[in-house]
């Protein structure tokens, strides 16, 4: 689940950067001459359209991941609990091995 959050955060970061770039282009467009302004406004429009598409795709992907996680969560939970128990038992065995190894004779 941590990887999912990380990926979600990365995508949100990219979308924020796109929004920041759009704002930057708007400011530069206001300062530019008329010829350059038309070209910049076209690029801004394209970026806004792409941002909307990316946001929709992001939401769609996020919903799919959440649905799959929720469907598989019940199946995976017993296996995770079993693995957790086995891991703890392994640590106990390693601790016993060290005690035996370093025990004074």
Model confidence pLDDT, tens digit, residues 56-93: 888 888 888 888 888 887 887 888 888 888 999 999 99
pLDDT band at 2 (very low <50, low <70, confident <90, very high): low
Tally the domains of the chain: 1
Answer yes or no: is 83 within a domain.
no
- Any domain includes 89: no
Q: Which of 12-16, 27-31, 42-46, 54-58 is least confident?
A: 27-31
Q: Mean pLDDT throughout 42-56?
A: 79
Phi-psi domain of 11 (left: phi exceeds 0; alpha: psi -120 through 50; beta: other) = alpha
Residue 26 lies in a domain: yes
- The pLDDT, as a whole number, for residue 32 is 64
Q: Residue 105: its pLDDT value, please?
A: 56
CA distances 65 to 9, 24, 78, Å, are: 14, 33, 20
Share of the chain above pLDDT 90, in %: 5
Is there a contact between 91 and 26 (Cβ–Cβ < 8 Å)?
A: no
pLDDT for position 98: 86
Query: What pLDDT score was predicted for residue 18?
Result: 85
In a domain, 102, yes or no: no
Look at residue 46 and tell me if it is in a domain.
yes
- What is the extent of the structural domain holding 45? 2-75
| Residue 21 in domain | yes
């Amino acid at each position: 689940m941590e990887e999912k959050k990380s990926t979600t955060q990365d995508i949100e970061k990219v979308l924020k950067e796109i929004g920041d770039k759009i704002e930057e282009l708007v400011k530069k467009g206001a300062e530019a001459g008329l010829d350059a302004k038309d070209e910049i406004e076209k690029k801004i429009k394209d970026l806004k359209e792409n941002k909307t598409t990316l946001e929709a795709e992001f939401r769609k992907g996020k919903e799919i991941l959440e649905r799959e996680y929720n469907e598989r969560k019940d199946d995976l939970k017993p296996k995770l609990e079993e693995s957790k128990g086995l891991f703890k038992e392994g640590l106990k065995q390693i601790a016993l091995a060290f005690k035996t190894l370093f025990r004074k004779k």
